[in-house]
Each structure stands twice: as C-alpha cells, then as structure tokens.
Amino acid sequence: MSGPRILLLLLAQLALTMVLAPLLAGVINKVKALFAGRTGPPVLQLYRDLAKLMGKGQVLSRSTTGVFLAGPAVAVATALVAALMVPMGAASAPVAFAGDLIVFVYLFALSRFFTVLAALDTGSPFEGMGAAREVTFAVLAEPALFLGLAALARFSGATSLGPMLTRAGHGWVGGLASGPLALILAAWVIVFLVENSRIPFDDPNTHLELTMVHEVMILDHSGPGLAMALYGASLKLWVLGALVVRLCLPLRGTWWIDWPAFVAAMLALAAAVGVVESIMARLKLRRISQALIAALVSAGFGFLLLLLQV
Amino acid sequence: MLLPGLFFSALILAALSGVPGLLSRGSGGRTASWMLAGAGLCGLAVAGAVLYGGHPWQAEMPWALPGARLRFQGDALGSFLLAPVTLVPALLSFYSEGYWSDEVHAHTAPRLRFFFGLATGSMILLTAAANAMLFLFAWEVMAFMAFLMVCISDQDAAVREAGWVNLVAAHTGALLLFAGFSVLAWRNGGSFDLGPLPAGFAASPAGTAAFLLLLAGFGLKAGIGPFHVWLPGAHAAAPSHVSALLSGLLLKMGILGLLRILAWTPDPPLWWAGLLTGMGAASGILALASALGQRDLKRMLAYSSIENVSIMFLGLGLAFAGKAKGLPVLTLLGGAGALLHLLNHSLFKPLLFMGAGSVMHATGTRDMERLGGLAKRMPRTALLFLAGAAAICGLPPLNGFAGEWLIYLGSLRALEPRGWIWGVVPLAALAVIGALAVAVFTRAYGVVFLGEPRTEAGAHAHESPPAMLRPMGILACLCALIGLCPWLLAPALNRAAGELSGDPALRLGGLANLGALTLIAALGVPAFAALWLRLRRAPSRSAGTWDCGYAVPTARIQYTASGFAQMLTDAFRWVLLPHERRPRIQGLNPRPGRFSVQPSDPLLDRALAPLFLGAARLANMLRFLQSGHLSIYLVYVVLILVALFTWTLA
C-alpha cells in the first residue's frame, strides 16, 4: 500500500473505532432490555454518560498516587494503538509488520498491568480482590489467545494479523479447515467474553457483588477518570470484537462492501453478546478457570488439527 | 594491540578495585567505584570496537600449568556480555557507597569491596577465556568470591546455611564442567584450548556425555530448574548490591557457556533443543508460581531470575533447533532473543534488587506483608522500581519486550512448513510466563509501594540519598532507551548471533522490524501523556477510599500479598507442596484456629536435603578409617602399593 492510502486507512480506522466503540454497549443493553420486556436505556446512553463525566470534577482517594490516574489513561492509549493494529474492513491493518500480533496482545497486558496497579493503589479490599482475579484469569486467557494465533500463523504462513485473519476468513468454505477454525473461534469467544468482563464470566452491571473483576477495580474512579475507564473498556470490546469478527468474515476486496459488512458484523456480535447475557446466569468463580481451560484445550486442538492439514 | 590492552586494563582495574580500601581506611569506597567506572569505560570501548567496528582480537601467553595456555579471544559473543559485565558493577559500586557504607559496616565494607572487585574481574576474564583451564580458573575465582560475598553477614544462621548450599552447588558445577571439558580435550588430542568442534562429534556418545556434563555445570550456575536450589537462598541472604551482581551478571556466565557450545557445534542433535526448551518452559512457569508464594521481596526477585534464565533457555532451544534442522533463521532469532534478553535482564534485575535494597535500607524489613504505601514516602525509588517491574514483565515500550519479541518471532517462524513444530512450546510457555510475571510484579509493587502502610516499619520510611538513586536512574534510562530504540543494538546482535548460526550474512533487519517498536511507542506514549495530563488537570478533591459506608477502615483490610496470589498459588499446590497448617473447623461454634502457610522448595527439601544428609551419614560410617595414628596410615600406603603392584603385574 502507498503512503497516503495507509494514512487514509489509519485515520478511517481510528475514527471508526473512537466513534462507534461505545455503541456496542448500547446495543448489548438494548437487546437485554428487549429480552426482559423493558424499554431499556437509549442506544446512545453511554455517549451521554461519557460526555457528562468528562465535564465533572473527580474525587481522589488520599491513599492514591500518580499510578491511580495512569490506569485509565494507559487503558485508553493502549486500546487506541491496538485499534490501529487489528484489521477491520481492509485486508491489512494500517500499522502492520511481521510479529505485530505479539505486540497487539502485549498492549493489553500493559493495560492490565496499570489497571491492576491503579486498583491496588487505593488500598481498598474490594479493588484488591478484583485485581487478584484479573491477573489470575489472564494466565489462562493469554495462552488460549496465543495458541489460536499460532494456529492461524501456521495456516496462513504469515506472522501479521492482517494476512492471518484474511486467510482464515476465506478458510471456512471449501476445505477441511472449518473444523479447526471453529475450535479456535470457540476459544476466542470465551477469551473475548472473559477479557471484556461479560456475563457469564463477570457482570458489568452490578457494583457490589463479590464475583466481579473489572467493575470492582474501577470502583474509586470518578469524573473524567471513570469516563476514561469506561471508554477504555468499550474500546477493548471493539478491538477484541474485531479480532473475533475478522476470524470468520470473508472479505470481498471491494471497500464499499467490506466496510459496511464489518460494521454490521460487529453490531451482530454485540447483539449476540446481549442474547448470551439475557439467557445465561453468571457462572461461579471457580467455573471461570474451568471455562478458560476449555478454551485453551479447544485452541490447542484447533492447532493440532491444522497441523495435520497444512 | 590497543584492544587487548584496553581489555587487560579493564580486567586489572576491576580485579584490584578493592585493594586500596584494604590498605587505607576512609576513601576506599569512592576509589573502588571510580576504578570500576574506569574498567567500565575500557570494557565498553572494547565491546563497541568488536561489536560495531568488527575488530575481533586475540592474545596468547604461555602458562606453567599442564594443558593450559593463557589464551584470550575477543569475539562478538563474549564482547556482548563484556558490556554489562563491566558497566553494571560500576553502578552497583556507587550504589553500595550509600547502601553498605564504611560508617555503618566498618568491618565488612572493605572486605566486601575486595571480593566484589575480584568477582567482577573474573567475569571479565570469563568473557574472553579461550582455554578450558583458564576458563575454569576464572570460574572458580568467581564462584568462591560469590560464596564469600553471600556469607558477609555470617553472624546470621540463615546466611551461613545459604552460603553453604551455594558453595556445594558451585563446586559440583565446577566438577561437572571439568569433566565435560576433559571429554572435549580428549577429543582434541589432549589440548584444553576451546574452539569449534568437528562435525559428527555432537551425535557421538562422547558428544552426548560432554553436552550433558556441560549442561548440568552451566545450568547449575545459571540457576535453571532443576539446578536452581541454591539460588533463592543465596540471593536473598546477600547484601542487595551483591544480589544484583549475582542475579544480573553471575548467572549469565552459565548462559554464556551454553551459547559457546552452540557456537562450537556445527550439527547438534535435535533432542538437545528439545531438552533445553522443556527445561526452559517448565522451570519458567514453576519459578513464577514459586515467586507468587514468597513474602520475602528479595527471594521473590531471586525466583524471578530463574524465570528470566528460563526465557533465555527458550531462545537457546530455538537456536539449537535451527542449527539441528538447518534453519539459520531460527538460530538467528532465538540466539539474538536470548542475547538481548540476557542484556536486558542484566539491566532491570540489578535495578530491582537495588530498589529492594533501598526499601530494606528505609524500613529495615524485606517482608512484603509488613510494608505498603511506600510510594508516598519514597516516590523516586517507587518510580524507578515501577520502571524495572514493567520492564521485567516484558511490557512494551520497555526493553524486556524487545528480547521476548525476538523469541516469539523465532517460535512463529518455527511453525512454518518443514520447520520445528515444537516451536509452539516456547510460544505457549512465553504466553503463560508473561501473564504470570504481570501477576508477580503487580503483587510486589502493589503491596510494597501502593495502598497504606501495613505496619510501623512502612510508615516511617524515608527516601534514599541521591547516591543510591542515581545508579538506579541510569539503569532505568537504559531500559527505556533499549525499549524505545532496540534497533540501536541490531548491529551488535547481528554480529553475535552470526557467530552462533555460523552464517554472518544473515541479518535481523529482514526478519524482525525493530523499528516498528519505535513506531508503536511513538503512537502510544504521546497519547498516554495527553490523557494522563488531562486527568491530572481535572479539578479534584481528596477523600478517603470508598469503603461502602464501613465506619472504621484500617490498613489491615487491604489485600495482602498472600491473598493476592492465593488463587494462583492454590492452582500450583500439587507441585510446589507448600507447608500448610489448617485449623479443623468442627461444630456450630468452632474454637479459634490459626492458619499458616509457608512456601517450600520441594526439590531442595524433599529430594536433595535427604540425599546429602544420607551421603553425610555414609561418610560418617567411614570415619573408623581415620584413626589419627601415623602407623595405621603407613599401613594404608603399603597396602595400596602392594595392590597397585599386583595389578600392574597381572
């Protein structure tokens, strides 16, 4: 791709992510309201909340240091950089190079590092609890993600997210790859739900239940800090969602079909998450590790099956 | 002649840096630091000339010892280690002027400086030693100095015990190395000169024996599992700047030995790669799981050293596999990854040990459960420790990521058709290790520096003097520099890894785009800075932490280090076997009970300690031979002579 086209793609992808990311939460909540027979909050509610919170002042705990504010800032910054590295409506991402998938995953590890420290900075037992859970689940979630990526690297012969996912998107029809790809998709969906703290693994809507992970870590943030924490979470939902969507979306190669198809698939993913949240209860804490081990095994089998075929 | 001259100046300056302090009281610390700094400049000049200028050097002198020659070879591989080995001790020495000052430790400080200088000198010698006898001589000096430094606070029983285990392990290692080098010398027709091995040797039984002996010997020094048993105790018992030297540099000499084996062997069998990879994966994960169970800050850092050595083993495994399968790309990426991680670890681990030392200096304890809230009382130390913690977790944009990234790229390349399919093991292991490292270091930083002080010890801490902060600052800046611009090291890595793969034309440039890491940092860091400043500038007021309306929150309700790690340590209980005491809860109104859990090292406690005790008991049974009468000993001599006589006649 030529320089100006990359720049155009970069700006398009950045704008799309920044503008549409909070929409996913609205779609999820609307679907849940429909299932429950309620009217529910407007689809654009999160945008309003963010605008309101950004205009407010904040209450800072006397226990905290500069790390506390770094938590949400790192979460937004890393998610924005990651948004430039995952392919969306085009075959390749604007920032792409051999091995970019490793950087992509480690950006989220960086975000986790600071979110956890920000939680511990308050000295609150609740936030310590959430932080302990967050680092525990990551130990299983990261290898599941990586095993899937390793399988795709083997399948596509590439080490950059763009060609890997594009090849996978075309691999579903006319070949024996659909089985292993389905296993990887299953693994990634679990990782996607865990990493984004969705039901059945975590409940983003309650605030004082003891089985929570992400919401409990940002308990002490207020005003702009809370806005950034929420915005960072919705960016993460969008970016990891893009990874899942592109795994099973065959591209046509014409931009006016691919981009709308991508956005539609993202909204469909949000609706699916809403359906899952409506029909399932939250799992016991112990079951989360078991589900993640299932994801790990599923990705591992996907890898082995692809080995036999390629 | 210039380069050998500079090298020997560095060697002599470092080795003798402790001597002026022995002769005169008072200014010994400062003199030693400046001598080590001079050694550092000389060493960096040599390393730069070899690695960037491409001027390898050699020197040779006769030696009276049989089979031994004073043979030095300044190749790229050794020079890559020479840079940290000369630079870091100088920084540690400046730090020790505040940490282990002559005023407080009048008796031990001069001695410690002398040992420190000799240990540094012997490591400088090791980077260029090209004769097995010379190598073993330097190796023994280094190991013995390490023992003396660990035992410097010998009035403490735990220190003596750690020193004892260290000494036994070091000498077992030296013995194994001697045996391994002897096999090589036998193959070379009696010459102990080290150099490339002939093709076909590696696959022969002698080659297998030599490899296993050398692997065990070097593994004992590097502290890879299952040879790690001496390491945590020794690193926790030593003064912090010594722990930093041991952990940051001494361990790397074991890795250097393995890198040399890789460079000498043209055709290693594939199972060597599998063995190294398996050891790296298992010990990396278990070391971090053990680290999560530690309350002692320095023991925790020691276990993390095992984990980092394991990452280097994963890189080495890929490099060996590349050579075995004729894929130089794997050797380049794995070898360069191992080398870069080695360099990185020799920067951030001393930084973290110095941070731990400052914490001990300020609070008098290294028990994490008694600390907390230090970031407000010692903000500069906290910031520097945070930089080290983020770097050691391998998080971009710091240096730890760059090294791990190369190993990841190597394992992805191994997955290509006709590659090495076991390359998926380092990939999966690194993913688990990365996530566990985040858990270990968020726990350490969060419990020690964040929140509220848990005891009085933490509440009255004070910031360290600038003399202790400056060396830490320099290391933190180097970590950031390598992380932001890893391509600065590309020529050096190309040359050193070229010696490993035997294909000097191969370049990292086309395989790993190190500039991309700079691009990512250039995108992310300004975004972060803008967002963080926006939050800092937002109008705010302060209040207590939200406590859900609970009326009397205390610092004791905070999550403890043990609580934070509990879910993970429980998951590893079946292999780490902690000593646990649970109260039995009976009846409707159970009596008060106590719960206690103590981390253990199953290998040391349940296998090696009984083994050595048994050996000691056996040896005791032979004591009747030692009567102390000269006449009996003369009878022994005669009996042996007669036995030899009959044997030679028959």
Summarised one tens digit per residue, pLDDT across range B533-584 is 999 999 999 988 887 777 677 888 899 999 999 999 989 988 888 888 888 8
Contact B411, B347 (CB under 8 A): no
pLDDT reported for residue A7: 93
For residue B650, give both structure tokens: 């028959």
Question: pLDDT tier at B62 (50, 70, 90 boundaries)?
Answer: confident
Interface check A171 vs B, CB under 8 A:
no
List, for residues B171-193, the tens digit of each pLDDT value.
Answer: 999 999 999 999 999 988 888 89
Cα torsion B627, B628, B629, B635 to 10°: value is 60
Q: Rounded to an integer, what distance in angstroms lies between the CA atom of residue B164 and that of residue B174?
A: 15
Select the residue of B415, B434, B563 nearest A142 (Cβ to Cβ).
Answer: B434
For residue B620, pLDDT over 70 is answered with yes
How do beta strands B579-581 and B596-598 pair? antiparallel
Minimum distance, in Å, between the CA of residue A121 and any CA atom of chain B: 5
pLDDT reported for residue A269: 97
The single-letter DSSP state of residue B556 is G
Higher pLDDT, B574 or B436: B436
pLDDT reported for residue B519: 94
Interface check A267 vs B, CB under 8 A:
no
For chain A positions 175-204, those within 8 Å of chain B (CB to CB) are none
pLDDT reported for residue B427: 95
What single-letter amino acid sits at B446? G
Q: Tokens 């202790």 correspond to what residue?
A: B468
Q: Tokens 């698939």 correspond to what residue?
A: A265
> Which site among A120, A159, A207, A306 would you substitute to test the B interface, given the most B Cβ atoms closer than 10 Å to its Cβ?
A120
φ and ψ at B508, to 5 degrees? -65, -30
pLDDT reported for residue A209: 54
The yes/no answer to whether this complex scores an ipTM above 0.90 is yes
For residue B1, pLDDT over 80 is answered with no
Q: Tokens 């407010």 correspond to what residue?
A: A56
For residue A244, pLDDT over 60 is answered with yes
Identify all chain A residues contacting B450, using CB atoms and an 8 Å cutoff: 63, 65, 67, 117, 120-121, 123
Q: What is the average pLDDT score of chain B?
A: 92
> Which site among B378, B454, B532 would you substitute to test the A interface, given the most A Cβ atoms closer than 10 Å to its Cβ?
B532
Identify all chain B residues contacting A61, using CB atoms and an 8 Å cutoff: 542-546
Put simply, the answer to whether A63 touches B451 (Cβ < 8 Å) is: yes
- Cβ-proximal residues to B76 (8 Å cutoff; 6+ apart), any chain: B50, B51, B56, B492, B495, B496, B498, B499
Region B507-511: mean pLDDT is: 83
List, for residues A129-179, the tens digit of each pLDDT value.
Answer: 999 999 999 999 999 999 999 999 999 989 999 999 999 998 888 777 888
SS3 state of residue B53: coil
Burial of B38 per CB tally in 10 Å (0-12, 13-18, 19+): middle
Interface check A260 vs B, CB under 8 A:
no
Which helix (H) or strand (E) segment is B581 a member of?
strand B579-581
Higher pLDDT, A142 or B504: A142
pLDDT reported for residue A310: 59
For residue B234, CA distances in Å to A217, B146, B300, B301, B303 come to 37, 9, 12, 12, 11
Minimum distance, in Å, between the CA of residue A221 and any CA atom of chain B: 10
Interface check A92 vs B, CB under 8 A:
no
pLDDT reported for residue B63: 86
Minimum distance, in Å, between the CA of residue A147 and any CA atom of chain B: 7
Q: Rounded to an integer, what distance in angstroms lies between the CA atom of residue B337 and that of residue B508?
A: 11
Q: Tokens 């986790």 correspond to what residue?
A: A112
Select the residue of A65, A228, A289 nearest B375 (Cβ to Cβ).
Answer: A65
Put simply, the answer to whether B540 touches A125 (Cβ < 8 Å) is: no
Question: pLDDT tier at A211 (50, 70, 90 boundaries)?
Answer: low
Region B217-227: mean pLDDT is: 93
Identify all chain A residues contacting B512, using CB atoms and an 8 Å cutoff: 98-99
Select the residue of B396, B532, B559 nearest A125 (Cβ to Cβ).
Answer: B559
Q: Rounded to an integer, what distance in angstroms lies between the CA atom of residue A227 and that of residue A54?
A: 6
Question: How many pairs of residues across A and B have Cβ atoms under 8 Å apart?
Answer: 245
List, for residues A87-110, the tens digit of each pLDDT value.
Answer: 999 989 999 999 999 999 999 999
Identify all chain A residues contacting B410, using CB atoms and an 8 Å cutoff: none
Domains of chain A: total: 1
- The ranges assigned to domains in chain B are 602-649
Put simply, the answer to whether B432 touches A139 (Cβ < 8 Å) is: yes
The rounded percent of chain A whose pLDDT value lies above 70 is 97
Put simply, the answer to whether B568 touches A136 (Cβ < 8 Å) is: yes
List, for residues B253-263, the tens digit of each pLDDT value.
Answer: 999 999 999 99
**Which residues span the domain enclosing A258?**
3-309
Beta strands in A112-255 (DSSP E): none
The single-letter DSSP state of residue A43 is T
Identify all chain A residues contacting B542, using CB atoms and an 8 Å cutoff: 59-62
Put simply, the answer to whether B450 touches A61 (Cβ < 8 Å) is: no
Select the residue of A70, A84, A128 nearest B523 (Cβ to Cβ).
Answer: A84
Put simply, the answer to whether A99 touches B409 (Cβ < 8 Å) is: yes
Q: Tokens 């302990």 correspond to what residue?
A: A132
For residue A166, CA distances in Å to A144, A152, A160, A244, A300 come to 20, 10, 10, 12, 21
Which helix (H) or strand (E) segment is A53 a member of?
helix A45-54
Select the residue of B394, B541, B568 nearest A106 (Cβ to Cβ).
Answer: B394
Identify all chain B residues contacting A141, using CB atoms and an 8 Å cutoff: 435
Identify all chain B residues contacting A103, using CB atoms and an 8 Å cutoff: 396, 401, 405, 516-517, 520
SS3 state of residue B377: helix
